[in-house]
Amino acid sequence: MRAARIRLGELLLALDRTMVTLQQAPRGLDLPVASVALVDADDVRLGIAPSAGNADLFFLLGVPSDDAVRWLAAQPRPPVAVFVKDPAPELVRHAIARGAAVVAVDPHARWERLYRLVNQFFDHRGDHGDPPLPGGTDLFGLAQSIADRARGMVSIEDAQSHVLAYSASSEEADELRRLSILGRAGPPEHLAWIGQWGIFDALRAGRDVVRVAERPELGLRPRMAVGIHLRSGARRTPTFAGTIWLQQGSAPFADDAEEVLRGGAVLAARVLGRMAATPSTHTLRVRELLGLSDTDTDIGAIARELGVDADSRAALIGFGTAAPTPPADVIALSATAFRADAQVASAGDRVYVVLPEIGAPSVTSWVRGVVGTLRREAGLTLHAVIAAPLPGLADVAASRAEIDRVFDSAARHPGAIGQITSLADARATVLLDEIVAHVAGRPGLVDPRVRTLREKDPLLAETLHAYLDGFGDIAAVASRMHVHPNTIRYRVRRIETLLGTSLDDPDDRLVLALGLRATESAQPLNAPSTSSSNRSNASSRSSSIPRSGPGSSR
């Protein structure tokens, strides 16, 4: 687990009353906090909610007050704090009696935004041994320093306009600032007006400070903004990484506010660069567990640091999409709500979730929920590959490599693998794909008779493919190709004559089937090959390469 370097009061001060409000803290605000978990109503109802030993802070998502009280009463020791939207008096009284702080979350706040902010605060609150920067080495500290110097309220956003950190808000914070921090879209008329004047384009294009005039009729206070631009390696053109927004409060901006913003943008670029290049210790350990690092891996040591049992059965799930990249923070939110000890890491366009001490059935149900929710709420078509159960964490890295093979195969043959599949179900498809790809990459492994047949008579090549896929079942092949069985018998005799072999020979059948697959265009491995207008779907085994004689006489 992460080292406890942060106090509860420090975290609440950073989150600010825009996001949270402290109700009670019976043990004070100096208790160390280093981890957060989520509990939802189903967790409590099914008796699978994480215990207070798994984390310091708990977000209670839609848990009824009486259920929350029962969950809290069942804990062997109280959590440092529980975060609740509209906490009921009964829950507050019970939490105080147990010694747990109660923090009220703004009803409009998005839980995934709060979860992301808290974990970012834990991960990057100056624990990497970096030389100190003015305003601290974290974005929250930098935001507050800029706000103090420029005399305003600061929010720092990424390139997708997601708030990464912000300074304390005063009573003069307008609705656009408040909703942005809470993870909600600003009022449409506000955003339309800002976009109309090309402000976002100007921020992306250069490093000049952009001024946004007050619009009283829209409730918009005066603003300044500057783009954050990163330089990476030999890249000459900086990459746009985000924006620093400065909203005016009751006092006018400082005379040198523009200079402060430009300097803040440079420091923010350094912090974002460090965040990208230097993930947290926790993230590094999860990546090591997944086999995504080049270092030697001590599974026992990693498991102890992550607070999980190395020898217990586990599950590994890989998530991927064609585009855009799966939302790692949303998946992490769901995973830790499902299991407080879930471990999540991303690599490229894939997100991996390790679920310790769990088997396959419950994992499949959870994965279906994640895929369905993201399809309904975000319009994302997410694909998932499940490896479960694994004997222990020592098998995670090898299973992750196998999951990658499934995704790679699916990318070459869209539709060949289901939206949600297991390693066991995908194994034959993946192996066949890799064998065919190997044969296709070495022309000498393709029987020259296959190429000759394709060139001289594509229809016969198609018939041969269907015949081999159909295990020699004349009636089934004829039905699939919408012709009379006698037509198939005639074509098969012509094929044998042209090839100079009998299709009863299992070795010839295997070589010909591989050659046919290696010389056709990419398509789903379990779909009918070529001329789909003339062929319908075969059985789920139609893609198997036959190794024996025909299943019926010709």
Give start-end residues of each CATH 3.30.70 domain in the chain: 281-426
Give start-end residues of each CATH 3.30.450.40 domain in the chain: 137-275
Give start-end residues of each CATH 3.40.1390.20 domain in the chain: 6-124
pLDDT of residue 279: 67
Cα 314 off chain centre by = 19
CATH of span 441-517: 1.10.10.2840
Spatial distance between the Cα atoms of 470 and 449, rounded to a whole number of angstroms:
21
- What residues are paired with 85 via a beta bridge? 105
Spell out a b/e string for 200-226, using b for 16 or more CB atoms within 10 Å of the CB, else e. Answer: beebeeeeebbebeebeeeebbbbbbb
Residue with tokens 């974290």: 138
Q: Which CATH class is domain 6-124?
A: alpha beta
Task: Give mean pLDDT, residues 31-46.
Answer: 85
| Amino acid letter, residue 79 | P
Share of the chain above pLDDT 90, in %: 31
Residue with tokens 């799930």: 317
For β-strands 6-7 and 210-212, DSSP reports them as unpaired
pLDDT of residue 87: 95
- What pLDDT, in 10s, does the model give residues 284-294? 889 999 999 87
Rg (CA), the chain: 30
Reported confidence tier of residue 233, pLDDT bands at 50, 70, 90? low
pLDDT of residue 209: 93
- What pLDDT, in 10s, does the model give residues 308-346? 889 988 999 999 987 667 778 778 878 877 887 889 998
Give start-end residues of each CATH 1.10.10.2840 domain in the chain: 441-517
252: Cβ contacts below 8 Å, ≥ 6 apart: 151
DSSP 366-381: HHHHHHHHHHHHH---
Query: Between these two residues, 207 and 71, which has the higher pLDDT value?
Result: 71
pLDDT > 50? residue 33: yes
- What pLDDT, in 10s, does the model give residues 351-398? 999 998 876 667 888 999 889 888 887 788 899 999 998 999 999 999
pLDDT of residue 123: 72
DSSP 132-183: P-TT-SSHHHHHHHHHHHHTSEEEEEETTS-EEEE----TT--HHHHHHHHT
| Amino acid letter, residue 289 | L
Q: Which CATH class is domain 281-426?
A: alpha beta
Share of the chain above pLDDT 70, in %: 85
Element (H, E) at 77: none
Reported confidence tier of residue 131, pLDDT bands at 50, 70, 90? very low
CATH of span 137-275: 3.30.450.40
pLDDT > 90? residue 305: no
pLDDT of residue 124: 65
pLDDT of residue 222: 93
Indicate the length of the chain as a whole number.
554
